[in-house]
Amino acid sequence: MFQTIIFDFDLTLVNSLYAITKGLNKMAVRFGLPLVNESDTRRVMSSEAKDFWRNLWGYHDEAWNDYFLAEVAGQEKFHLETAPGAEELLRRLKSEGKSIGLATNREDAWDALTSIGLARYFDAAVGSGEVEQGKPAPDMLLLIMNKLKADPALSLYIGDAAVDMEAAQRAGIRGVGLLAGGTSRDELISAGAWQVRLAIQDLGKLIHSLT
């Protein structure tokens, strides 16, 4: 039975496509950049924060960071939606004494959890701001497993993107890919996924097994 469950944030614990796209288009209007749609957002969401803008608009202006923090970030939380079944699963895992962690390419992992009211379920959280390299490098998973004193053989990492699965494989733990994030089963498996499920509400039996 698995003892440590580590989650990704965007499109795993929360549906953030609408919120992020809305904020990006506010920035686009402010700086005269091309408007984006949810497909554009999905394409870059797994990028490290430092690469996000470049992958979206082809270059990076420091003024965008300042505007994002001042005018966009504080509003995003009002448009985030917790994934169906996510809080119920976290509550169950907490009641069973599991170690629960978050590893996200967002810079501030605890701020992300606090914004949707889920921080109380987590024992540790790591964002890209705490490590040399974000996913697909294994750095943040190795760090959070160290914080949780986790046994890799009894640990899972739950995510929606190929970079999540690659990071898990490189960190020596099992990765479970979620199709709800839009990445195909083949892409997830090719990136190293141990198992693939449709969405977070389909994880209960898997977490309570060890094959």
Amino acid at 49: A
Q: What tokens appear for 59 in the block?
A: 């270059």
pLDDT reading at 211 higher than 50: no
The mean-pLDDT minimum among 45-54, 103-112, 181-190 falls in: 45-54
Q: How would DSSP label each residue in 34-85? A: PP--HHHHHHHTTS-HHHHHHHHHSS--HHHHHHIIIIIHHHHGGG-EEPTT
pLDDT at 149 (0 to 100)? 98
pLDDT digits (tens, 9 = 90+) for 6-65: 999 999 999 999 999 999 999 999 999 999 999 999 989 888 777 889 999 999 898 998
Amino acid at 170: R
Q: What tokens appear for 204 in the block?
A: 């209960």
pLDDT reading at 206 higher than 90: no
| CA pair distance 133, 18, nearest whole angstrom | 27
HSE (side-chain half, CA atoms, 13 Å) at 92: 13
pTM of the model: 0.91
pLDDT at 37 (0 to 100)? 96
Residue 169: CB atoms within 10 A of its CB come to 19
pLDDT digits (tens, 9 = 90+) for 117-150: 999 999 999 998 899 999 999 999 999 999 999 9
pLDDT at 51 (0 to 100)? 85
pLDDT digits (tens, 9 = 90+) for 143-170: 999 999 999 999 999 999 999 999 999 9
